[in-house]
Structure 1
Amino acid sequence: MRLILLGPPGAGKGTQATRLVEKYGIVQLSTGDMLRAAVKAGTDVGLKAKAVMESGGLVSDDIVIGVVADRIDEADCAKGFILDGFPRTVPQAEALTAMLKSKGLKLDAVIELVVDAEALVARMENRVKETIAAGGTPRPDDNPESFRKRLGEYQEKTAPLSGYYASTGELKTVDGMKSIDEVTAAMGAILGA
């Protein structure tokens, strides 16, 4: 099972990804983790990424696609994977589609958690209160101003993926404002579980 979860920050993608990993025995792949691992392993793509990262630049789409391509060839991805944080733009999605096709693979689903932006801000504020009450430290960017900025970036750069994946017939949507269990059940229905 090969999946992408879409949705703005705070939509619950991480929570749902954890449940999918447990249920289906698939791997959650974070591009940041994959880049760091490729650099550490000294792969060809990792060495290219290292040079860019050390110079303070942004790693190109070609390098990220190379890292993803190498990573999904590893044995633990045989049952499938969830891409976390990738693709972020339509050109990345197009490159991902081409790369998967070259390997004789395709996505099983792209699931978008549809949420209300203002409700997400309230959800984030509640999460901060719960984290503090539990003795934890909230993320530095978990405040309304920073969170709205992250939502704006998502709308500008990543939200167009919905249209792209709708045009390929891969997009499925779930009401991300429902309870965690209801969202899990809706995703299970989409995935035929």
Structure 2
Amino acid sequence: MDATNKPHQIPPEMALYAEKHRIFELMQSLMEALLIYRPEDPVDFMIGHLRKNNADVPRVFVVGPPASGKTTISRWICKHLSATYVCPQDLVHNQKLKKSQEVLSCLAQQEAIPDELWVSLLEERLSDEECMSLGWVVDGFPETRDQALQLQEKGIAPRHVIVLHAPDTVLVERNLGKLLDPFTKEVYHSTFDWPVDFMVQRRLVVPEGISEQVTASRLLESHRNIPGVIQAYAKNHKAINADQPCVDVFAQALSFVQSRPASKAPFLPRVLLLGPPGSGKHLQAALLAQKYGLVNLRLGDLLREKVVERTPLSELIKPFFNSSYPVSDNIVLSVLKERLNRQDCLSCGWVLHGFPRDVDQASLMKHTGFEPNRVFFLNLPTEVALQRLCQWATDPVAGERYHSIFKPPINAEVNQRLRQNPKNRPEKVEVKADYYHQQARELEDFYEDGIALNADQDPYTIFEHIESYLVKPLPVTRR
């Protein structure tokens, strides 16, 4: 592009492609890999890096004190995301790993295993094709800041670090009740997690090193080292209280692992609000436009503006307005495309509501080259929509709007002269709501990354939810 020729008219397709394929993050990943590994042939290295196609696979460390549930959470994450479970202690007996022999030699001589050897062993395992293609979850490592720094020097960088914590009294009680299935290596508890299978019950054994004295010693060591580990991963860790039901801990951990880190890529919001009448699309669009400077586009307003302009296009729209029939899709797309091509939409972003109403219109909009990057479905029951819309009325003298429940008029004279908008009559609201609900399922399938929100709550609570998805990357979903 010519830097002297501004503003640049960047085709919308370019931004769509870059966002869809995450070009900015891809280039960032390539540069990071080049700086870490410093290959002799950078071009071949980058081609190989791209062929791995593992940009979104999980790379997770789960750390915490003894009995905090690291193994359980790690295995559950692996099962849910089809990732590879990695436990450094299990790697010692993996004969396929060259470094395992050195570790066994140290254990045979009753020597402490150096951190360098642990890191090399883990590096060898994580470089396997299985870990590279499916991702990995490492259970209980690193245990110290030195180990974390050595992993970073080797280029082993997790995207997410889960730090589990709980009161010492809880951890001691959990640890002393542990039982191990020697066949499956599953860990059970005599009080909280007793197996149902009678055969499993019979073969349970007490693991080594879980006496009260040993547990207290390991807890003390963990308390000394965990702050250093957290410091090494200050920007990508999440502390989770493990003193709660396992399913709740797992839900928080999974939500964190599926989240994407904040991106530094330029982001231009293109928001689409879909929902039945009365779901608050107009209000949410106004709030987004006010706070983020987006162009507020309401299809009905755009068409009315075109009619006033008295252009050849307005002559085509007038008959539809006079007959109360929906404006032809081709005319609507022409008006919408012209508006979205203006400089304010291209430079500031936009929020659209009132269109599309069905999958055919959504498909036509996609072919114009303008696609939303955030789609919100504001779900609302028809009964609530009727309560919201059908009880609004306007004072024709003062122009003030009243609601029989939320904002009733105080003056009896005002109450007598109130007039209801014909569009808000129950029969018309029901027709519009029924039509939306008939199309909603297909629209949800069309916009597969759409976010469903409950619109039957405080509007500012809804806005906070919309805002959170607007300023943060969408979660990773592996299909």
TM score, norm. by length of structure 2: 0.35
Work out whether residues 9 and 151 of structure 1, in 8 Å CA contact, stay in contact via their aligned partners in 2: yes
**Which residue of the partner structure matches residue 428 of structure 2?**
146
Answering whether residue 380 of structure 2 is matched by residue 107 of structure 1, we say no
Between structure 1 and structure 2, the one with the greater Rg is: 2
Alpha-carbon shift at residue 153 of structure 1 (Å): 2.4
- 1:50-101 per-residue CA deviation (whole Å, 9 max, x = no partner) reads 46656776431111101001111223323111222111121110010110x2
Q: 1:163-192 deviations in whole A, cap 9, x for unaligned?
A: 2212xx3x1111212211210110011111
1:22 aligns to 2:287 (yes or no): no
In the aligned structure 1, how far is the partner of 2:293 from the partner of 2:313? 27
| Partner SS for 1:8 | coil
Q: 2:383 aligns with which of 118, 138, 145?
A: 118
Tell whether 2:352 aligns with 1:83: yes
Matched, 1:156 2:424: no
1:181 matched to 2:460 = yes
Letter in 2 for 1:91: D
Which letter does structure 2 place at the counterpart of 1:133?
Answer: P
Q: Which moved more, 1:78-87 or 1:156-165?
A: 156-165
Instruction: Output the amino acid matched with 1:88.
Output: R
1:122-147 alpha-carbon deviations (Å, 9 max, x no partner)? 33456531455275644234344433
Give the alignment's Cα RMSD to 1 decimal: 2.7
Matched residue of 1:59: which SS? coil
- Given that residues 29 and 82 in structure 1 are in contact (C-alpha distance below 8 angstroms), is that contact kept between their aligned partners in structure 2? yes
Identity of aligned residues (%): 29
CA contact (8 A) 1:40 1:46 kept: yes
List aligned pairs for 1:28-107, cutoff 5 A.
28-43=296-311, 45-50=313-318, 58-77=326-345, 78-99=347-368, 101=369, 105-107=370-372
Give the SS at the match of 2:422. coil
C-alpha distance in 1, partners of 2:445/2:310? 37
What runs of 5+ residues in structure 1 fail to find an aligned partner?
A: none
CA contact (8 A) 2:285 2:352 kept: no
How many residues are aligned here?
186
Higher RCO, Cα 8 Å, sep 6+: 1
Moved more, 141-150 or 11-20: 141-150
Gapped runs of 5+ residues in structure 2?
Answer: 1-268, 393-402, 473-479
- Tell me the amino acid that sits aligned with residue 173 of structure 1: A
1:120 Cα deviation after fit: 2.8
Quick one: distance in 2 between partners of 1:144 and 1:123?
11
- Give 1:8's aligned residue: 276
Residues 52 and 8 (structure 1 numbering): CA distance in 2 closer, same or farther, change over 3 Å? Answer: closer
- The alpha carbon displacement at 1:38 in A equals 2.6
Q: Does the residue aligned with 2:338 lie in a helix, a strand or coil?
A: helix
What code does the residue aligned with 2:435 have?
Answer: E
1:30–1:85: 8 Å Cα contact kept in structure 2? yes
Letter in 2 for 1:119: V
Q: Are the counterparts in 2 of residues 131 and 137 from structure 1 also a CA contact under 8 Å? A: no
**Amino acid of the residue matched to residue 4 of structure 1?**
L
Query: Is the 2:365–2:371 Cα contact (8 Å) retained in structure 1?
Result: no
